[in-house]
Amino acid sequence: MSHADHADYCWRELPEYGARIEHPRLRQPISLIIDDPMPGYNPAYFHSGFRFGPARIPVSLVDEFADMIERTGIRGKFSIVPYPIGLGRVDRAIEGVSDVERRYFLDEIRDRIAPHMDITPEALTHWNALDLKTGQLLPYWEHVWSRSQTTETLIPYITLGLEILNNVDIPCRGVTSPWDFGDGVEDAYATAILEAQRAVYGRTFAWYFLQMDGSSPSVPPRLSVFDPAKGEAVVSVVTCDSNDFGAAVWGGGRPNPDALISADGQSGRLVETLRNGGSSAFHSHWQTMFSQGTYSGMNALELVAQRLETYFGPRIAWTGCDDLARYTATAAAVQLSAGSDSTGLRLSTPFACPRFTLSQAESHPVRDVHVDGKPLTRAASRAMFDQDSYLVENGRIYACWTLEGEQTLSVETA
């Protein structure tokens, strides 16, 4: 674990001001991505060509999952497939799923999961592509269809997914790619995501999940669209695992939590990337949580969360994907200049960012730290260090607050 104490990966060094952008409240962000949830049906059954059943997932899984994330504190992203398997829209009716069940699924996600995980659509069907003009399914998968698309044809497709979830009062700041939807046309796809967010919400910031990287030492999010002057960014949240640790359960096998973190906390892909000091995002699936009705995948995920708590505890923080994406774009965009008084630093950002954390060398004992004249509370220890506080430790001053627009950070010395 020695590497994390001397992290070789930082968000950004600003040497001309003796400053460094740190991880939010000095904790490495960790995010869980759950793909494929849909009311009523088991995606594994369809995606395996009907080999691995059962066809249905009982709606009680959503309660069990909400209980589990409340117990563990897990944060990240949770999909809703807006037009599952082409059988109907989640805001209207789905063939073979009762309205009571469909509404219960959406209500539970809105009330119990959305407070912890960012919700995203996953294109439309996670099945054959939908012809938006005729409302009929096309004779190829959505990801195959995506390869021959342009920004112009992708915009309405992504927009409809956002609109369907918005119609059931589930706003989404990002999107998930079914299979590898958008791969090969990623620039057009990222631009279309931005334009869809603009069309539905008037926003100029978005993120998405498409890429996985199971081998690099660190796997930070990537900036796919980045135009701070226009206040525009689209961030690709990349997972550090290239396979779902529990995928074997779809066909009746056993999950492999050790692939993420072993029982002794010494090996696994999350251990590797966290030891290298960066953020870590990893992914699993709704059908893994279900595990053909045994919940073995969900139990294994809870074990992963417990092991992370045991071996990394206060060094990490479960983080929503939107916050992770926003932090990445802000760290890249923020501009520093000397403030009007000699102790101040002027910061300017096009993106608002909660828990923005900046450190500077401490030259004299610190008496007070202010943001635009408003005092931050001194934190007695790292454990107390959070939003609107500052910490003095080992010759550095750390400040954590919501960075937005133009602000001045001033440090008064004794």
Footprint of Zn ion on this chain (CB under 5 A)? 35-36, 178
Q: Nearest 10 degrees: CA dihedral of 163, 172, 143, 108?
A: -90
Report in angstroms how near the CB of residue 61 gets to Zn ion at its nearest.
16
Q: Which is nearer to Zn ion, 121 or 277 (CB)?
A: 121
Q: Which is nearer to Zn ion, 35 or 108 (CB)?
A: 35
Report in angstroms how near the CB of residue 176 gets to Zn ion at its nearest.
7
Using DSSP bridges, classify how beta strands 232-236 and 222-227 pair: parallel, antiparallel or unpaired.
Answer: antiparallel
Q: Which is nearer to Zn ion, 36 or 186 (CB)?
A: 36
Distance CA 298, CA 68 (A): 8
Q: Which is nearer to Zn ion, 65 or 312 (CB)?
A: 65
* Residues forming beta bridges with residue 346, ordered by sequence position: 337, 408
Report in angstroms how near the CB of residue 391 gets to Zn ion at its nearest.
40
- Other CB atoms within 10 Å distance of the CB of residue 51: 10
CB 93 within 8 A of CB 148: no
DSSP 183-251: TTSHHHHHHHHHHHHHHHH--SEEEEE--B-SSSS----EEEEEEGGGTEEEEE--BS-SS-TTGGGGG
Helices (H), 30-59: 43-47
Q: How many residues are recorded in the chain? A: 414
CA-wise closest residue to 118 among 41, 185, 172, 73: 172
Q: Which is nearer to Zn ion, 35 or 323 (CB)?
A: 35
Interacting residues of 396 by C-beta distance below 8 A, sequence separation 6+: 359, 360, 361, 362
Report in angstroms how near the CB of residue 82 gets to Zn ion at its nearest.
12
Q: Which is nearer to Zn ion, 25 or 126 (CB)?
A: 126
235 class by beta-carbon count within 10 Å (0-12 exposed, 13-18 middle, 19+ buried): buried
Report in angstroms how near the CB of residue 243 gets to Zn ion at its nearest.
13
CA-wise closest residue to 82 among 208, 166, 181: 166
Tokens of 176: 């998930």
Q: Which is nearer to Zn ion, 204 or 287 (CB)?
A: 287
CA-wise closest residue to 319 among 118, 64, 174, 176: 118
Report in angstroms how near the CB of residue 156 gets to Zn ion at its nearest.
21
Report in angstroms how near the CB of residue 244 gets to Zn ion at its nearest.
10
Q: Which is nearer to Zn ion, 84 or 344 (CB)?
A: 84
41 SS3 class: strand
Q: What are the two backbone dihedrals, phi and then psi, of residue 304, each rounded to the nearest 5 degrees? A: -60, -45
Report in angstroms how near the CB of residue 283 gets to Zn ion at its nearest.
9
Report in angstroms how near the CB of residue 144 gets to Zn ion at its nearest.
14
Interacting residues of 6 by C-beta distance below 8 A, sequence separation 6+: none
Tokens of 90: 């989640």
Report in angstroms how near the CB of residue 286 gets to Zn ion at its nearest.
9
Q: Which residue is at the shortest CB distance from Zn ion? A: 35
